[in-house]
Amino acid sequence: MSRVLLYDIEASNLSGSMGYVFSIAYAIIDTDKLHKNWKKMKRGKGLPKIHLISVLNTKGGYDLKKINGRGLISDKEVIKKFAEVVTNEADLICGHYAICFDHKMINARAMRYGVKPMPNVKQYDTWLSARKNHKLHSNRADAITEFLGGTEKTRLKPERWVKASMGHIPSIKYIEHHNIKDIVDLVKMFVNLAPYDPKFPATQVFRGKCPVCGCDKFKKMRFLSSSRETYKSHQCSNCGKWVKGNRVESFVHKM
C-alpha cells in the first residue's frame, strides 16, 4: 500500500517569522485503490474524505484571553497535529507550490514551537509538475483546474485576511471553507498531472502495479534504451502512466 497525503495550508503571512497558520486541510489517497475511482476523480468527483486542522478546532488555538502572552491565536497544535499525521500516515505528500511555500512555512512554525521535524517523506508538487511538463497560460491552481473543466476555488478579499489575523471568527471560518475547496482542486490536479510526469516519485518498486493509480493492467510494453541499459517500459491501461519495468540488458563501456 502507498498512501498519498494531499495538503494545503492557509496562513496569515507569506513568512513563518511574521505570521502563523490558520488551518491545514488534507486528504489521504491509497494508490492501490485509486484506479477504482480514477475517472470520477479526474472530474472532481468521488473524492476522499477531507480533514481540517484549524486554530478553531485545536486546544489553545483560539482564546479570547492572551495565549502564553503571545497573542490571540496560536497555531502550535495545528502544526503539531499535522506533523503527527505526516509521520503516521503518509508515504508521499503532495501540494500545489508546497515545496516552495507550504512545507517551508510548516517547518518554520514547527521550529518556532520546538515541534519535532516531519519525516523526510517524498514530495510531489503539482505546480512544479505543471511548469515542467505542460505549456499552460498559468500554473496557478485555479487556472489549471479551469482548464481541466472547472475550479472549486473561492475568492478571498484582503479584508478577510486582515480580520482573520485579528481573530474575527467568521473570517477564519470562511478561510477554512476556502482551504477545504483547495483540496478538491488539488485532488483533481494530482490525478490529471501525475501520469504525465516522468519523474513522479514512486514510493515503491514496480511490482506489477501502476505507482500512480494502483492498476495492475497494462496495455502496452516496449523496450527503451539508455547509454547503459535496455529495460522494459509498461503503460497503465487506466491512467496511461508509463512505468519503468525490469532491466533487460546492461552495457559495460570499456575505455
Give per-residue pLDDT as tens, 89-106. Answer: 999 999 999 999 999 999
* % of the chain residues with pLDDT over 70: 87
* Predicted pLDDT of residue 46: 83
**pLDDT value at 123 more than 90:** yes
Q: Provide the pLDDT confidence category of residue 252 given band limits of 50, 70 and 90.
A: very low
**pLDDT value at 67 more than 80:** no
| CB-CB contact of 223 with 232 (8 Å) | yes
User: Under 8 Å CB-to-CB from 40, ≥6 apart: which residues?
Assistant: 46
Domain(s) labelled CATH 3.30.420.10 in the chain stretch across: 3-196
Half-sphere exposure of 141 (CA within 13 A, CB side): 24
In this prediction the pTM is: 0.88
The span from the CA of 33 to the CA of 98, in Å, is 25
Domain 3-196 is found in CATH 3.30.420.10: yes
* Predicted pLDDT of residue 173: 92
The span from the CA of 86 to the CA of 6, in Å, is 10
C-alpha cell at 47: 473524492
